[in-house]
Structure 1
């Protein structure tokens, strides 16, 4: 469950960026329709719950390094190509919208020129290029609860000071300009909003879920994340609606709500919102760079830095205007992606369940192999490992290594276990002595001589795979 919570918070953190945390999306997509917009938030929230669970399962099932690998597996090449291009367009577009939101944030709260906030955000994004996916997930997860606490606090203050003139607030809310291209339809707006968020987050969702071996745990994380997102969306809409008189016309209406409570509270929340803007921006640019550098991983950082700088240049168009015309276009692209991904999940759900059981068994065998209180795996268990690896949907001869690294991390974190990653550097990707998995193939997925050396010495270096006797 601890892993699921971490994934859930990362999911929420990816999506509650400038438009959500600021309230600008909520104004344009929901409250511009008055009471019906509140109903729309519930519809959008339900969609997010369903898709959070299914997308996280798919990312884990394919152990995705980037979104294109999943798209290619679930659809025909032409459709996969369309979804890939649409996702790349989305990542870049939302990325520079987030940088624009960072500029608006500091301008509204502190009166700085918009370029100041944009420059600070750009520098933070560049620094993030030196983090790996696991560390990035940790950063995103750590920041997200701050916004949740702030929104719940605003909800309590709003309920205590609930206005009496709801009908006049409804009329004022409907004076807001809705997002373009949605034909004044609250239901279409709700579906478009959910689709927007899915295509915004799909690349990093699949990458983050791809670091989780167990599709069941990943799906639970997506489900919980979707529920948190839905809860936040509904109460955010309620908060802004109830405070409409004080926030009408603001670029960042949620920030204005807190500023109207007390200037000091506004300063704190401005910083929280700025961090949430960072969350979404880094997810967009990071996911895009991972995709562009998929065939040449060594080029990741130059590509990442380049797209961040281009995004900075485009951010000066203006935050509210960008939300109004960029987001609906992306939402329509997201609708097509949702249909493809849901159909693929329905088709593959039995295979996902089988693979989940397969990986859980591999994890149990890895636990026996690594637990200091157990003896090493016998011939029968080793044959079972090889059979499970060959049955896996993942065409990866290094799957046994991946499973053991995951189990080793869990054992190391368990205070009741005698296992220590310090004694097994070749199962710790963060170790300076880490050398990766020994050479293997799909036909011979495990070099047991090398692993015998690992279990005894903690390293593969005591033996060259296939060239020395077991236990040397």
Structure 2
């Protein structure tokens, strides 16, 4: 049985978390301009504040998913809140799926309009068709291929940061003028930062809880979230600095990152347009596919028409324009995300001793299971009783917890085969 080293697990988890946060909005640079660089130097501090909140909340979300071994976000919402609050949080996630979907279609139109001078409706229509067709196929395989673009986005941020630092403007007056004329939709800078954190976490919460639910040990989930959040904070601060220093270059552009790369070199702009469009697709297909499945959970045979209908409605709404949708829809989602984030963080703080006990309990259960499966070690009736009691006290179902811990146990398969080969 292949297992991941305990030292590598937090790194693997952190990469998954970063992949959830580095979406199409981040890749275009539009979110960063709207929430951070428009404030100038304070915007960089805002990026740090947002990153701090996202690091803490991301670690908590992943850990809660692990504590309850969640296979969907509703498992955690129902476990930590009153039914009406769980319903409210679930509705927030559903609304976010749809809103982010039609914003992505608008972003697709804006991207091709800026680089190819295509009509906005055509770029959005092309994306809607691609999403509509692939959403009826094996979407997991398609999305997995496209999600390989995420490391390219991270690389693009590092490269553009290095280029910007090596070519700092000698005259800062145009930069200051661009910042003065900028009109962030939300202020002051610290409130804008908190709103961004709420937005990003609301977009990521569903998959965060599911990823956490695939991990048997809550401590590893927490460390992975903290590490991923720290790395994302650095990337966010780097991109904020770039968008601030290059404000005169991308002023008024719907897709700032594309404008900055085109200014570096025309070929770089052409390369970036494919990266951004692929990221937009990856986000859009994920949102519309998840929404279609959720709306037809009780009638899965209705998935195809409902999915296509949501894409069509999303395309119609995208005609409001990428910039308009970004500056109106995202702040509203950000407020909802702030409520959700505050609720989960407060719940975690209040129940941290209970969670700490669960962390130790998982280690104890894992050790007992390891002892039971090892033919070279004694496993007595007392051990069996201790195992049963620990499993019954756990926050997760006993059979599900045992399967999860056994699957992460090193060399269990070898031990079982060795035990089977021993003579009776």
* Shared fold per TM-score greater than 0.5: yes
In structure 1, the residue matched to 2:183 is 177
* Residue 42 in structure 1 maps to residue 48 in structure 2: yes
CA contact (8 A) 1:107 1:117 kept: no
**Residue 385 (structure 1) aligns with:** 387
228 and 307 in structure 1: CA distance in 2 versus 1, 3 angstrom threshold: farther
1:376–1:158 Cα change, 3 Å: same
Which of 80, 87, 111 matches 1:74?
80
Structure 1: unaligned runs, 5 residues or longer = 424-453, 458-470
TM-fit CA distance, 1:268: 2.3
Task: Tell me: higher relative CO, structure 1 or 2? Use CA pairs within 8 A at least 6 residues apart.
Answer: 2
For the pair 1:346 / 2:356, whether they are aligned, the reply is no
Q: Structure 1's 290 and 378: CA in aligned 2 closer, same or farther, altered over 3 A?
A: farther
Structure 2 equivalent of residue 119 of structure 1: 129
Aligned to 2:10: 4
- CA distance in structure 1 between the partners assigned to 2:65 and 2:370 by the alignment: 24
- Answer whether contact 2:216 2:401 (CA < 8 A) is retained: no
* Residues 305 and 203 (structure 1), Cα distance of their counterparts in 2 relative to 1, 3 Å cut: farther
**Is the CA contact 2:128–2:312 (under 8 Å) kept in the aligned structure 1?**
no
Q: TM-score, normalised by structure 2?
A: 0.86
* Counterpart position of 2:152: 146
| Corresponding residue number in structure 2 for 1:438 | none
Does the 8 Å CA contact 2:128/2:311 hold for their aligned counterparts?
A: no
What is the CA–CA distance in structure 1 between the aligned matches of 2:273 and 2:146, rounded to whole Å? Answer: 17
Q: Does 1:103 align with 2:109?
A: yes
User: Are 1:99 and 1:118, in contact at CA under 8 Å, matched by a contact in 2?
Assistant: yes
Structure 1 segment 152-163 matched on structure 2, within 5 A? 152-163=158-169
State the distance in 2 between where 1:58 and 1:266 align.
41
Note the C-alpha offset of 1:5: 2.1
Alignment partner of 1:213 is 2:216: yes
Measured in 2, the distance between the counterparts of 1:174 and 1:128 equals 48
Bigger shift: 337-346 or 350-359?
A: 350-359
For each residue in 1:185-242, what CA deviation from the matched residue of structure 2 results, as whole angstroms up to 9, or x when unmatched? 2221111111111111111111121111111111111111211221111111111122
The Cα shift of 1:325 comes to 0.5
* Higher helix residue share: 2
Residues 369, 142 of structure 1: alpha-carbon distance in 2 compared, 3 angstrom cutoff: farther
8 Å contact from structure 1 (residues 66, 294) kept in 2: no
What is the aligned partner in structure 1 of residue 397 from structure 2?
395
CA RMSD, Structure 1 to Structure 2 (Å)? 3.2
Cα distance in 1 for partners of 2:268, 2:182 equals: 26
Post-superposition Cα deviations, 1:251-286, rounded to whole Å, max 9, x if no partner, equal 110121112112222222222223333443344345
What is the CA deviation profile of residues 125-184 of structure 1, one whole-angstrom value per residue up to 9, with x for unaligned ones?
Answer: 5545456xxx97x768744322111111111111111102223202212323322xx3x4
Give 1:61 shift. 0.9
Structure 2 Cα separation of the partners of residues 61 and 295 of structure 1: 27
**Counterpart of 1:83?**
89
Q: 1:357 to 1:291 in 2, by over 3 A?
A: farther
